[in-house]
Structure 1
Amino acid sequence: MATVLSIHLAPARRLPTREVDSVVAEAGTGLVGDRYHGTKHRHVTVQAGEALEAAAADLGAPIDPGLTRRNITISGTEVPTKPGARLTIGEVELEVVRIAAPCRLLDDAIGPGAARALHARGGTVLRLLTSGVIRVGDPVTF
């Protein structure tokens, strides 16, 4: 069964993320306390823990989920990437907007080669269709 492994929020661009146990998700607005709260389409980013492990193997070093700057890390499944695909995390329904491409700044935060290792493993950008609370340990369904 797919579940939420971790949740990370950053209050502003370029500020470090902080790990939280839960977050309020507001439909059409984003995650309360995150830098993208209030944006039109980039409400939340989701990545797969297994993709991070594969990237870490390529990089030759562990990758802390918070350093990728993605909001939610899940385990037990791949993250859908097709625009319009839907998933539910806990009580919150989300819709895929696009793939989240890793940027070169990851090389500074994680180490040289991190952006390359995370290519095609950077997760997905989603919009929130319903409101609710997302918690570590919540189930992820499609």
Structure 2
Amino acid sequence: MGMVEAVCISEKKGMVKKEVPEIHLEENWGITGDAHAGIWHRQVSLLAGESIEQVKKKMPHLKHGVFAENIVSRGVELTALAIGDRLIIDGTVVLEVTQIGKECHNAGCAIKKATGDCIMPREGIFTKVIHGGVVKAGLAIAIERISEATRVA
């Protein structure tokens, strides 16, 4: 079982997200006060703390939120998830994986330009909120995988 390492929001799209003490997730909406909230498939983004550490080896000054991630996880193999899998946070908040990775902005983001690589297109995942609640650092994250039969159908 993994855990939430940090939570981040930004009020405007295109801005670096800032770490905050807690976030409130609304069912089928996303995070209250976050620019990416809305009725669509990329309501909440997640990135593994382990992935961020690899980039920090080249750029140790990086803070949570710089990759536009809403939730930084620890001990969860996000890259092994499939669309439809669910993350259960603190036993109550339910996020469903809707997209894996994303295209990097235009000629690449500032991180890619500085380090030669950006991890969000490969290792970030996007989710929609199935059941909302409050999320903050230290809460447990469990994975609920969809069955292979459902995945093929």
Task: Name the TM-score, length of structure 1 as normaliser.
Answer: 0.85
User: Does the 8 Å CA contact 1:48/1:75 hold for their aligned counterparts?
Assistant: yes
List per-residue Cα deviations over 1:39-82 (Å, max 9, x = no partner): 3221100110111122344xx22343311011000111211531
Equivalence for 2:59: 61
Equivalence for 1:28: 28
* RMSD between superposed Cα atoms in Å: 2.1
Which consecutive segments of 4 or more residues in structure 1 shift more than 3 A? Answer: 104-107
Equivalence for 1:138: 139
Task: Specify the structure having the higher radius of gyration (Cα).
Answer: 2
Q: How many residues align?
A: 138
| Matches of 1:22 and 1:13, distance apart in 2 | 20
Equivalence for 1:42: 42
Equivalence for 2:122: 120
Gaps of 5+ in 1: none
List per-residue Cα deviations over 1:7-33 (Å, max 9, x = no partner): 110111123322111111011011001
SS at match of 2:66: helix
Distance 1:87 1:34, change over 3 A: same
Q: Taking every aligned residue pair, what percent have the same amino acid on both sides?
A: 27
User: Does the 8 Å CA contact 1:98/1:126 hold for their aligned counterparts?
Assistant: yes
- TM-superposed CA distance for 1:117, in Å, is 4.2
Gaps of 5+ in 2: 144-153
List per-residue Cα deviations over 1:112-137 (Å, max 9, x = no partner): 2546241522x100011001111111
Task: Name the TM-score, length of structure 2 as normaliser.
Answer: 0.79
SS at match of 1:125: strand
Equivalence for 2:11: 11
